[in-house]
Amino acid sequence: MIKTIFGKGTYFIGDICYALNEKIYDDIWGKKHGYRDGCFEVEKSSFVVARTAYGDGCYKGSDGVEYGVDAGVIGIVPKELWEKKSQNYPPTGGRIVTVKKVLSFQSDGKGLFEICIDGMDLIIETD
């Protein structure tokens, strides 16, 4: 089970491969952390990521958004990390949200994602 809380700000929700630059994705998340699920600190910020139940695909959230997945994961990346990715700015394939108070992320490790955006629940079920 992974649980993380973020404060106010702008965030990308979706496959983190669309939002992180190669250095953070491959060097920090990959080489340093073995591409595992969890919350990871980088450049005075952090991102969270967890695996989907069946890897790549397109998963519809309770918000009606189609979340495209090409790396088998869904996560949350703050703007300060994705605005540095020049080839895909702003990131697509997910959803960008501006949070006024609190953004929470929870994954059961089996493909269920529960995200709360300022009190509004978003469920992405990948199983």
**Averaged pLDDT, 32-48:** 95
Express each pLDDT in 56-69 by its tens digit: 999 999 999 999 99
**Closest to 9 in 3D by CA, of 77, 106, 93, 95:** 77
> Alpha helices of 24-122 — where are they, by DSSP H?
79-82
pLDDT exceeds 70 at position 89: no
Domains contained in the chain, number: 1
pLDDT over 80 (residue 27): yes
- Enclosing domain of residue 103: 2-125
Percentage of the chain lying above the pLDDT 70 cut: 95
Vertex 30 angle, CA 8 and 15, to 5°: 50
pLDDT band at 38 (very low <50, low <70, confident <90, very high): very high
Tell how far CA 11 is from the center of its chain.
Answer: 8
Residue 13 above 80 pLDDT? yes
What pLDDT, on the 0 to 100 scale, is given for residue 116?
Answer: 98
Residue 15, pLDDT > 80, answer: yes
Distance separating alpha carbons of residues 127 and 111, to the nearest angstrom: 6
pTM beyond 0.85, yes or no:
yes
